[in-house]
């Protein structure tokens, strides 16, 4: 989860050398690695040991400071968290025992009597967890809403008489709940305004869909228009769109790589990428989250050893990373990934699901954020589900790549084409971001989002919470740790009219439960302040202000640029 | 946190206890089982220590004074 700061200068230095056009073989890399480490220790002993905190802006790789922090879990909290899980597990076994002997009614699926001697279906840890821990705090998830999920929303009130096994609607509506949970980064989830108007017009004109694939009769002029626009927006040669972001990943990776290829995947990649990689049948190696040293090691091993047993070289090596990781709030170290990819001649698949629209001065995603050339990324994938307030996904790249995918990707050949109203929503919102609608609304939203993010993150840190991730990432995970606090946080926040998403195990490691806020451009400063004061109040009530670095601002650590100067001999 | 009175403070303390042990999410009857077991255990620990600690302390004192008390004479004798 956390990464070692000691790895940073190695990559930075190594990559810089590539940039300078020197051959990597020229200096003994092992030697330079050692030297970097020595220096790094010296440098690092000044800093405090506990917080794993990386600031890297060596050389020309990063144009702005790259600040990412994953404060370590306090020891006491970790111990208490395990203790809490232990107690809950004991009670889980007690309840399972009661259910087994029919002392208590069992509401959930269980082994059937007539299947007694078959392989048990409901006995693994995940089922135990669902039955005995998740069910107790289930009221925090899947809350039905009855309005647009914009900056504020209306929730349908529900209650449970049997401790969350069943819910009843009371018929009342909880109004004006501040929505801190939707991936509505640019606030395009609206039912009024220019997007909604043109969508309504297109619905009247085209209907809601033609129920056919793109290769048969489902190809409309709107689709072509959107794909051109997407390619133009991203600055790529060509692009194609799919009706579902998840399928874009899981169906196109198998089309790109197969047996005899190697996929290097970040350990925290989204389920769709994992599924796609597995379906492809290629070998998968996983590197530590956002850790470039780990990636480089795997790349080098792959090139030196080739395929297992035969030792033939790999046909293709594909690095799969995401722009913003939605659970950690971290941003990929793209400049270093690109440098590594160029150096080792690998291909790069970048999933911009959360970053497109949300990052970069022009809203063009991580590539724009780092000021890089989009053509350095071989496969640029993203979804329209988040920032654009629509649905679906795209893949952009070289013309040949897209033409290949058009005829070989399962989701292009078999899936029905996108619904025209959805396509229109994408077109209007994208034009708005590009400023092609003649207004500056899009631009303003992008800057508003960046401001909101920095403000919200700074205030949370000042309040003393442990938050993860990059300073510029609009996904803000706030650590809760203890199992009971997951439930309590969600409930107390809703009581105070704020809707938040809380996340626990399977989605996170078992002790790192968290609440995840998603900042939107639609949040006004007022709303953010209200949310912050409520979070602070609930944080006091639940004792969530774990951070031991309350006073020290993140950027305060001085960075000595001269440290690496004499290395490039 | 500011509290208006002692009751509020105690309620907050109890809430913290619920959260940290995790029994916040349990059903009331499970909470009472947990509380009774915990308090019985604590009560027994306190009772045992009340009964046995004085005895142990006395025994320990006797033991150590047995070791240290025998020595001085011979040391003095040696020094003389
Ligand atoms: C990184 C990543 N890729 C792909 C997807 C799937 O997108 P969609 O929800 O449009 O199917 C998600 C959605 O959560 C995601 O986070």
* CA dist list (Å): A228 to A239, A335, A395: 7, 27, 12
Q: How far apart are the C-alpha atoms of A173 and B11, rounded to whole Å?
A: 30
A524 pLDDT band, cuts 50/70/90, is very high
A547 pLDDT band, cuts 50/70/90, is confident
Q: What's the pLDDT tens digit per position in A25-52?
A: 333 333 333 333 333 333 433 333 334 4
Q: What's the pLDDT tens digit per position in A467-486?
A: 999 999 999 999 999 999 99
Instruction: Tell whether the model's pLDDT for residue A11 goes beyond 70.
Output: no
Mean pLDDT of A21-28: 35
**φ/ψ (deg, to 5) at A70:** -130, 85
Instruction: Tell whether the model's pLDDT for residue A566 goes beyond 70.
Output: no
- Ligand 1 centroid to A112 CA: how many Å? 36
Question: What is the nearest CA distance from B5 to chain A, expressed in angstroms?
Answer: 16
A142 pLDDT band, cuts 50/70/90, is very high
Is the ipTM here above 0.90? no
Q: What's the pLDDT tens digit per position in A262-295?
A: 999 999 999 999 999 999 999 999 999 999 999 9
The reported pLDDT for the residue numbered B72 is 54
Residue closest by Cα to atom 10 of ligand 1:
A245
Give the three-state DSSP class for A172: strand
Tell me if B19 and A542 make a contact (CB, 8 A cut-off): yes
Mean pLDDT of A312-328: 94
Residue indicated by tokens 């980064």: A185
Instruction: Tell whether the model's pLDDT for residue A561 goes beyond 90.
Output: no
A/B interface, count of CB pairs below 8 Å: 49
Pairing of strands A283-287, A347-351: unpaired
Question: What is the nearest CA distance from A91 to chain B, expressed in angstroms?
Answer: 8
Question: What is the nearest CA distance from A81 to chain B, expressed in angstroms?
Answer: 7
Q: What's the pLDDT tens digit per position in A185-207?
A: 999 999 999 999 999 999 999 99
The overall average pLDDT reported for chain A is 85
**φ/ψ (deg, to 5) at A134:** -65, -45
Give the domain ranges of chain A. Answer: 1-71, 80-140, 194-434
The reported pLDDT for the residue numbered B74 is 53
Mean pLDDT of A94-119: 85
Tell me if B22 and A487 make a contact (CB, 8 A cut-off): no
The angle subtended at Cα A519 by Cα A235 and Cα A458, nearest 5°, is: 110
A560 pLDDT band, cuts 50/70/90, is very low
The reported pLDDT for the residue numbered A565 is 34
| A86 vs B80, more confident | A86
**What b/e readout covers A23-36, taking b as 16+ CB neighbours within 10 angstroms?**
eeeebebeebeebb
Give the domain ranges of chain B. Answer: 26-79
The reported pLDDT for the residue numbered A68 is 85
**Closest ligand 1 atom to the C-alpha of A383?**
10
Edge to edge, the sheet with strand A469-470 lists A52-55, A67-70, A469-470
The reported pLDDT for the residue numbered B2 is 75
In this prediction the pTM is: 0.83
Instruction: Tell whether the model's pLDDT for residue A556 goes beyond 50.
Output: no
The overall average pLDDT reported for chain B is 86
- For chain A, what's the residue count? 569
Pairing of strands A262-266, A317-322: parallel
Residues of chain A with C-beta less than 8 angstroms from the C-beta of B23: 87, 484
Q: How far apart are the C-alpha atoms of A317 and B37, rounded to whole Å?
A: 58
The reported pLDDT for the residue numbered A361 is 92
pLDDT over 70 for what percent of chain A?
86
Which of A407, A430, A422, A424 minimizes the C-alpha distance to A214?
A407
Q: Which among B16, B21, B30 has the least Cβ separation from residue A84?
A: B21
Mean pLDDT of A157-181: 93
Q: What's the pLDDT tens digit per position in A408-437?
A: 998 888 899 999 999 999 999 999 999 998
The reported pLDDT for the residue numbered B75 is 53
Residue indicated by tokens 């009331």: B28
Give the three-state DSSP class for A417: coil
Question: What is the nearest CA distance from A93 to chain B, expressed in angstroms?
Answer: 12
The reported pLDDT for the residue numbered A505 is 86
A429-434: Cβ within 8 A, 24+ apart: A429/A186, A429/A188, A429/A195, A429/A387, A429/A388, A429/A389, A429/A390, A430/A229, A430/A230, A430/A233, A430/A388, A431/A229, A432/A188, A432/A194, A432/A195, A433/A186, A433/A233, A433/A357, A433/A362, A433/A363, A434/A232, A434/A233
A60 pLDDT band, cuts 50/70/90, is low
Residues of chain B with C-beta less than 8 angstroms from the C-beta of A92: none
CB A416, CB A213: distance < 8 Å: yes
A181 pLDDT band, cuts 50/70/90, is very high
Q: Does the CB atom of residue A326 touch ligand 1 within 6 A?
A: yes
DSSP for residue A156: E
Q: What's the pLDDT tens digit per position in A214-249?
A: 988 889 999 999 999 999 999 999 999 999 999 999
pLDDT over 90 for what percent of chain A?
72
Chain A residues within 8 angstroms (CB to CB) of chain B: 80, 83-85, 87-88, 91, 94, 133, 136-137, 163, 482-485, 487-488, 540-543
Tell me if A484 and B24 make a contact (CB, 8 A cut-off): yes
- Ligand 1 centroid to A234 CA: how many Å? 18
A104 pLDDT band, cuts 50/70/90, is confident
CATH number corresponding to A194-434: 3.40.640.10
Give the three-state DSSP class for A94: helix
């Amino acid at each position: 989860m956390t990464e070692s700061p000691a790895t940073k200068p190695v990559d930075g230095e190594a990559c810089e050398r590539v940039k300078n056009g020197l051959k990597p073989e020229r200096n003994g890399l092992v030697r330079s690695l050692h030297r970097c480490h020595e220096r790094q220790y010296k440098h690092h002993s000044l800093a405090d040991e506990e917080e794993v905190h990386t600031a890297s802006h060596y050389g020309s790789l990063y144009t702005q400071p790259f600040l990412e922090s994953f404060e370590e879990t306090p020891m006491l909290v970790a111990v208490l968290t395990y203790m809490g899980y232990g107690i809950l597990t004991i009670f889980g076994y007690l309840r399972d025992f009661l259910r087994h002997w029919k002392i208590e009614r069992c509401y959930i699926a269980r082994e059937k009597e007539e299947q007694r001697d078959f392989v048990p279906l409901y006995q693994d840890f995940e089922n135990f967890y669902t039955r005995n821990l998740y069910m107790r705090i289930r009221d925090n998830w899947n809350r039905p809403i009855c309005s647009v999920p914009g900056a504020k929303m209306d929730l349908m009130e529900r209650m449970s008489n049997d401790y969350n096994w069943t819910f009843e609607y009371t018929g009342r509506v909880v109004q004006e709940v501040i929505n801190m949970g939707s991936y509505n980064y640019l606030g395009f989830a609206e039912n009024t305004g220019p997007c909604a108007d043109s969508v309504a017009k297109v619905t009247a004109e085209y209907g809601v869909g033609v129920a056919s694939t793109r290769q048969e009769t489902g190809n409309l002029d709107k689709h072509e228009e959107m794909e051109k626009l997407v390619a133009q927006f991203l600055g790529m040669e060509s692009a194609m769109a799919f009706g579902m972001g998840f399928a874009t990943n899981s169906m196109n990776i198998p089309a790109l790589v197969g047996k005899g290829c190697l996929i290097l995947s970040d350990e925290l990649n989204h389920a769709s990428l994992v599924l796609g990689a597995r379906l492809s049948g290629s070998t998968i190696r996983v590197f530590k989250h956002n850790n470039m040293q780990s990636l480089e090691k795997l790349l080098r091993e792959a090139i030196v050893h080739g395929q297992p047993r035969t030792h033939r070289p790999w046909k293709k090596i594909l690095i799969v990373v995401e722009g913003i990781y939605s659970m950690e709030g971290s941003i990929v170290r793209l400049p270093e990934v690109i440098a590594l990819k160029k150096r080792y001649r690998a291909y790069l698949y970048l999933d911009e699901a959360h970053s497109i629209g949300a990052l970069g001065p022009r809203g063009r995603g991580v590539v724009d954020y780092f000021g890089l050339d989009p053509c350095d990324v071989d496969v640029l994938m993203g979804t329209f589900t988040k920032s654009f307030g629509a649905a679906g996904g795209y893949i952009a790249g070289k013309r040949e790549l897209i033409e290949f995918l058009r005829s070989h990707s399962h989701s292009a050949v078999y899936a029905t084409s996108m619904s025209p109203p959805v396509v229109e929503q994408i077109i209007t919102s994208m034009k708005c971001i590009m400023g092609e609608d003649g207004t500056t609304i899009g631009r303003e939203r992008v800057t508003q989002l960046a401001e909101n993010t920095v403000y919200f993150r700074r205030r949370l840190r000042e309040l003393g919470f442990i938050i993860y991730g990059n300073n510029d990432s609009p996904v803000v995970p706030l650590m809760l740790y203890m199992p009971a606090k997951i439930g309590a946080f969600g409930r107390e926040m809703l009581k105070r009219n704020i809707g938040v998403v809380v996340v626990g195990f399977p989605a996170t490691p078992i002790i790192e439960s968290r609440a995840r806020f998603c900042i939107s451009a639609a949040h006004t400063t007022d709303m953010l302040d209200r949310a912050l004061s409520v979070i602070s109040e609930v944080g006091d009530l639940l004792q969530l202000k774990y951070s031991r670095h309350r006073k020290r601002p993140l950027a305060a650590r001085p960075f000595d640029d001269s440290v690496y100067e004499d290395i490039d001999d | 946190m500011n509290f208006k009175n002692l009751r509020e403070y105690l309620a907050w303390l109890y809430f913290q206890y619920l959260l940290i042990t995790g029994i916040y999410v349990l059903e009331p009857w499970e909470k009472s089982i947990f509380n009774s077991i915990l308090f019985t255990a604590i009560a027994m620990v306190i009772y045992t220590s009340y009964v046995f600690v004085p005895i142990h302390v006395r025994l320990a004192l006797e033991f150590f004074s047995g070791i240290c008390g025998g020595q001085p004479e011979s040391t003095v004798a040696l020094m003389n």
